[in-house]
Amino acid sequence: MKKGNNYFKALLKSSAYIYVVLVLICAVFTIRENLLAGCAIIACSIIMLVHQFIERHNRMQKMKKYFDELSGEAMAQSSQLMFNIPDPIAGVKIDGTFAWYNNPFHEAFYRSDFGRKLCEIFPDVHVKDIIADKGEHPISVSHNGMEYKIIPTIVNDTDPEKPALILYFENVTDVNRLHQLAIDARPVVMNITIDNYGETIADAGENEQLELVASIDRTLTGWVNLLGGLVRKLERDRYVAVFSHEAFEKIKEDKFSVLNDVKGVSLTDMAPPTVSIGVGLGGETIADCDNYARMALDMALGRGGDQAAVCDGGKFSYFGGSAKDVEKRTRVKARVVATSLRELILSSGNVIIMGHKEADADAIGAAIGLACAVSHLDRDVKILLNTTDSAVLSLVDTINRNHYHDGLFVGRTQVRDYIADNTLLIICDTHRPSLTEMPELLELVNRKAMMDHHRKSESFIEDCALVYHEPAASSTCEMVTEILMYMDGGLNLSTIDATALYAGIVLDTKNFVLKAGSRTFEAAAFLRGFGVDTVKVKLLFRESPESYRLRTDLISAAEIDGRGICVSVSADELPHSIAAQAADAMLDIEGVKASFVVYRDGDGVRISGRSLGEVNVQLIAEFMGGGGHAMAAAAQLSHTTVAEGAARLGEAIDEYCK
């Protein structure tokens, strides 16, 4: 009797049997109108019922026989239990056909698809792949709006007549839904600051100031409230907001449109306000997310502002960054840095100065200016130098011929002899460890200072006693010149030292055309007071006939697309300075907004990019693992052909233009 009850319960669980019962009920009512039709319907229903009963009985017998052969009498006694477990389970042969399956599997998958093989119901699930994986990893599948986790067990992978796998299907639809709800509800912390608050309202009247501030407040709070977030104003130019992760996904899809919304609230004849946003998520606690948000905001500001930086568990991504850097430096900061640097030098036994690889006039000019300050404070100083730049070599030759700073320049091997416990290492014109002239020197020296004007990247030199990082500065030479202005003790520069600093400013501003602010001209005027000859500076940057030919060949081979992007590709290995000069020269072509030169560099490819400011070449370079700043950037691709490098550049440009 008990066995019969189990059969009856199983029969009720099958929707097919329910359909038969409904048909029988309909037949009873049909008999009243048409006896023959009603009897025919009843006969068909009985046949369907018998067929379902026989099919189920045969499956049970096959399954029982299988367990009898597999594990003997003990497993055979439990076959009835496994056949009626509430979750789908099936045995699959080596060729993917089903050997047996239980009622829940039949109800969930088999009956609706009429598939005879596993791959007919689940196209991405294959027996051979499961056996190759040794059944160690569950498989996720979806079917008819439900999500399942398949847990495979290998029982026989040699006999084609017997099941090779037992597949247990766990319905994880509700679990996944709850998991997604938990993800969507995770907090996202956002720190917002107005980049140019003081500069924007400095010349505005009182009423205009109030109107502008109120407009910015309405724009930011309206944006946050529309997404269901919470925002609070901490100071006159700082806000903090909290969103759900679900809302943040919408913000990413919209690419932080609030950046442009804020710029649209400017008043007549006033510079548009811009904001920087730091987003933190992926932390275990809200405090962790807030810490990530602070790191992200620092990164956004270090990259010039007018952008959003997202720190997801320590990994950064960026949005925006189209505006030019805003000059926000003050003489107070330069004076404080000068004082701090003086104390660092005086507390050190000696100083080593290092620039970036293939140092240019800005890196070496800044190093020479700093060397003057160190010598003025009566400390021994060495500059690590290893470059092929013609302007730098000309400067160094002039210094050596005139016996300025005898023994100032040393190579990588020699520099190790000057390292002591109290040595100070000054890094100039870069903040990325991998781009320094000698990265291992960062580990060998404990006391470090760093000065740079490039936009901040994720890779940053850590543990510096002094960091002077100004993305709005035209050059590192400009920054060093301002420090020298406030160096105590009446520091006097020689003409050649001042010329080196002036040459660095000229190089990075392209003769005072790009990123040249009021502070740039003040620094240049200060240096001119020490007898800088501008004609001699121009002569430093002269090139050989061969270099001129290479540069003109690159320009001739350049192609301009409809977006104003000019690209020249060369299969030859070129001096880096030639590629940079060619990229600069291509900006003089009408309609060109940005230029790139792709050329071979050893077993890889180097890409040099330049812009007049409308296109941010730094962001394009970062898509390829490079960096720089908005108007001058580069990327280096290892183990890559020139054709592949050009293709990567095209993809990066397309991604940026989106």
Q: What is the pLDDT of residues 600-650, one digit of tens each?
A: 988 899 999 999 878 889 889 988 988 877 788 889 898 899 999 999 999
Final residue before a domain boundary, out of 56, 81, 106: 81
Q: Are residues 369 and 336 in the same domain?
A: yes
pLDDT reported for residue 33: 67
Specify the number of domains making up the chain. Answer: 5
Phi first, then psi: what are they for 341, rounded to 5°? -65, -40
DSSP H helices, 356-494, are 361-376, 390-401, 412-415, 441-444, 476-485
pLDDT band at 83 (very low <50, low <70, confident <90, very high): low
φ, ψ of residue 574 to 5 degrees: the values are -115, 155
Evaluated on CA atoms 99, 102, 105, 111, the torsion sign reads: positive
Report whether 321 contacts 616 (CB < 8 A).
yes
Query: How much is the pLDDT for 223?
Result: 93
Average pLDDT across the chain, whole number: 83
Q: Are 151 and 254 found together in one domain?
A: no
- The reply to whether 395 and 484 lie within a common domain is yes
Q: How much is the pTM?
A: 0.63
Do residues 299 and 309 make contact, with C-beta atoms less than 8 angstroms apart? yes
Residue 482 lies in a domain: yes
Residue 578: alpha-carbon gap to chain centroid: 30
Distance CA 21, CA 9 (A): 15
Nearest to 307 by CA among 293, 323, 321: 321
Residues of the domain holding 103: 85-184
- Give the pLDDT of residue 501: 95
One-character DSSP codes across 128-195: HHHHHTTT-S-EEEEETTEEEEEEEEE--SS-TTS-SEEEEEEE-HHHHHHHHHHHHTSEEEEEEEET
Within a 13 Å sphere around the CA of 634, how many CA atoms are in the beta-carbon half? 19
Q: What is the pLDDT of residue 7?
A: 40
Query: Is there a domain that residue 326 lies in?
Result: no
- Position 562, amino acid: G
Question: Is residue 179 domain-shared with residue 47, that is, in the same domain?
Answer: no
- Regarding whether 343 and 432 lie in a shared domain, the answer is yes
The two tokens of residue 323 are 């505006």
Q: Which residue has the tokens 């649209």?
A: 264
pLDDT of residue 58: 67
Look at residues 520, 540, 560 and tell me which one is the last residue of a structural domain: 540
Of 137, 153, 184, the domain-final residue: 184
pLDDT at 417: 92
Answer for the pair 370, 428: CB distance below 8 angstroms, yes or no: yes
pLDDT for 29 equals 64
Helix axis angle, 361-376 to 331-346, nearest 10°: 60
Q: Residue 10: which pLDDT band, with cuts at 50, 70 and 90?
A: very low
Give the pLDDT band of residue 130 (cuts 50, 70, 90).
Answer: confident
pLDDT of residue 651: 93
pLDDT digits (tens, 9 = 90+) for 355-368: 998 899 999 999 99
Same domain, 237 and 386: no
In 331-389, alpha helices (H): 331-346, 361-376
In a domain, 325, yes or no: no
* Highest-pLDDT range among 149-153, 188-192, 313-317: 188-192
